[in-house]
C-alpha cells in the first residue's frame, strides 16, 4: 500500500499540519471533553472563531481579493487578512493566485484542484503532494501592489498561529484558568481549524461532484444548498463559475448566502462600495440557454420511448417559442419589464419540470 505513495512529492510541512491537527481533533479534543466537560464558553468561542475566520475566507479571500466583486474599507480588509490567516489556508496572495488559476483552467490539468483527477485530489490531495511547481504569482499583480496583502503574505504563519491558537488560549485563560485555556486551544483552535478547512475543501471537491448545474454544464461546478449552509453561501458554485465577479453566490432570494448579506450590510454603513452584480436578464438567459441544451441532449439520448419523446418535444418547442419571443424583444429594443422576466422564468421552470420526469438529474 505504502509503496504506491510518491514520498518524493509529499509536501511534508503542509501534510504534517493537516494530518497532525486532524489527529489532535480526533484524540485530544474528546479526551479533554471526557475529563473536563464542555461549557458554553468553549462552544461560543468555537462558533465565534469559526465565523470570524470563515467569513474572512468567503468575504475577504474569495469575493473581495480573488474576484474584486466589491471594494472595502481598510478596516474590513484588515479584519479579513488577520482572521483569514487564522483559517490556515495560506496567505491571501497565494490563495487568490491558486483560485484565479482554478477559474481560468477549471477541469483541466493546470487547475490546481482539478476534479477530473479524483475527489481526493480535489479535496486535499493537491495540498498533500507537490505535483506542480510553486506559482509565479503573475495573475495577482493587482494584489502585489497592496501593502496590507503583502505584509500578511510575508508574516502569514506568525499571524495565523497567534489568531488560531494563542488568541483563543489567552481568552480561555482569562475566563477559567489553564483548564479553560487548554480547552480553547483544542476546541476553538485546533478543531475549529480542521472543521473550517474541510468545509472550504468541500467547495473544491463536492461542489464539483454533487448538485445541479442550472446555469452552465460546460464545467463541473455545481450548486449545492447543503454546501452553502456549511460555507456561508459558497455552495452555489455553478452560478459562481458562470458569473464569478458577482458579489452574490446565492442569487435567488431564498438561497442561503450570509456572505452576500454581510457585504450588502457593509455597503449600507459605508464600509463597502461598488458591489458588482449580474443583471437579472443575463442570469435568466443563461438559465434559458442551459435548459435548451438539456432538452437537445435528452432528445438525442437512446432508449427514449415515443410517448416520452413527444412529451419532451412539446415542452422543448414551448421553451423555444419563449426564446424566440425574448429575442424579438431584444431585437426591437423593447424595455424588459419585471413581469416579462417573471413570465420567462415561469416558462423555464415548467419546461424543466417536464424534462425531469424523463431524465436522471445531475445529482441529488
**3-state class (DSSP) for residue 71:** strand
Q: Is the model more confident about 331 or about 129?
A: 129
Confidence band (pLDDT; 50, 70, 90) for 360? very low
- Show the cell assigned to 326: 425574448
Q: What integer pLDDT is reported at residue 2 of this predicted model?
A: 46
Confidence band (pLDDT; 50, 70, 90) for 357? very low
**8 Å CB contact between 289 and 339:** no
Supply the angle between the helices 74-85 and 92-104 in degrees, to the nearest 10. Answer: 90
Alpha-carbon distance of 159 to 54, in angstroms, equals 16
Each residue of 234-258: pLDDT tens digit? Answer: 999 999 999 999 999 999 889 999 9
Q: What integer pLDDT is reported at residue 1 of this predicted model?
A: 40
Each residue of 282-306: pLDDT tens digit? Answer: 887 788 778 777 766 766 666 655 6
- The CA distances from residue 101 to 107, 111, 197, in Å, are 11, 6, 20
Alpha-carbon distance of 346 to 338, in angstroms, equals 12
Q: What integer pLDDT is reported at residue 363 of this predicted model?
A: 43
pTM: 0.87
Q: What integer pLDDT is reported at residue 24 of this predicted model?
A: 96
Residue among 236, 233, 234, 232 at smallest CA distance from 222: 236
What percentage of the chain carries pLDDT values higher than 90?
A: 69
Alpha-carbon distance of 23 to 25, in angstroms, equals 5
Confidence band (pLDDT; 50, 70, 90) for 279? confident
φ and ψ of 117, to 5 deg: -90, 5
Element (H, E) at 170: helix 167-184
Alpha-carbon distance of 14 to 127, in angstroms, equals 7
Residue among 206, 210, 247 at smallest CA distance from 361: 210
- The CA distances from residue 96 to 102, 139, 144, 154, 315, in Å, are 10, 9, 11, 15, 43
- Show the cell assigned to 122: 480535489
Amino acid at each position: 500500500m505504502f509503496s504506491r505513495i510518491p514520498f518524493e512529492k509529499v509536501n511534508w510541512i503542509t501534510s504534517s499540519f493537516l494530518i497532525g491537527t486532524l489527529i489532535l481533533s480526533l484524540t485530544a479534543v474528546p479526551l479533554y471533553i471526557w475529563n473536563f466537560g464542555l461549557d458554553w464558553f468553549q462552544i461560543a468561542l468555537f462558533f465565534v472563531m469559526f465565523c470570524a475566520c470563515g467569513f474572512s475566507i468567503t468575504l475577504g479571500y474569495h469575493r473581495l481579493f480573488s474576484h474584486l466583486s466589491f471594494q472595502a474599507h481598510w478596516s474590513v480588509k484588515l479584519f479579513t487578512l488577520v482572521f483569514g490567516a487564522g483559517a490556515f489556508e495560506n496567505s491571501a496572495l497565494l490563495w487568490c493566485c491558486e483560485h484565479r488559476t482554478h477559474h481560468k483552467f477549471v477541469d483541466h490539468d493546470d487547475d490546481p484542484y482539478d476534479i477530473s483527477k479524483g475527489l481526493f485530489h480535489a479535496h486535499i490531495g493537491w495540498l498533500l503532494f507537490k505535483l506542480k511547481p510553486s506559482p509565479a504569482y503573475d495573475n495577482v499583480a493587482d494584489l502585489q501592489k497592496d501593502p496590507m496583502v503583502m505584509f500578511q503574505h510575508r508574516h502569514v504563519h506568525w499571524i495565523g498561529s497567534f489568531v488560531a491558537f494563542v488568541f483563543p488560549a489567552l481568552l480561555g485563560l482569562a475566563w477559567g484558568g489553564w483548564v479553560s485555556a487548554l480547552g480553547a486551544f483544542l476546541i476553538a483552535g485546533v478543531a475549529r481549524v480542521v472543521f473550517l478547512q474541510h468545509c472550504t475543501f468541500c467547495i473544491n471537491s463536492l461542489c464539483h461532484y454533487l448538485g445541479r448545474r442550472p446555469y452552465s454544464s460546460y464545467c463541473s461546478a455545481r450548486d449545492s444548498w447543503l454546501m452553502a449552509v456549511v460555507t456561508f453561501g459558497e455552495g452555489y458554485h455553478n452560478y459562481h463559475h458562470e458569473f464569478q465577479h458577482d458579489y452574490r453566490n446565492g442569487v435567488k432570494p431564498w438561497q442561503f448566502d450570509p456572505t452576500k448579506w454581510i457585504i450588502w450590510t457593509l455597503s449600507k454603513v459605508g464600509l463597502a462600495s461598488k458591489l458588482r452584480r449580474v443583471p437579472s436578464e443575463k442570469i435568466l438567459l443563461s438559465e434559458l440557454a442551459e435548459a435548451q441544451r438539456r432538452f437537445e441532449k435528452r432528445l438525442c439520448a437512446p432508449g427514449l420511448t415515443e410517448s416520452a419523446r413527444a412529451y419532451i418535444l412539446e415542452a422543448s418547442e414551448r421553451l423555444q417559442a419563449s426564446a424566440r419571443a425574448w429575442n424579438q424583444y431584444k431585437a426591437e429594443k423593447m424595455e424588459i419589464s419585471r413581469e416579462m422576466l417573471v413570465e420567462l422564468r415561469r416558462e423555464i421552470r415548467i419546461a424543466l419540470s417536464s424534462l425531469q420526469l424523463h431524465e436522471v438529474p445531475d445529482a441529488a
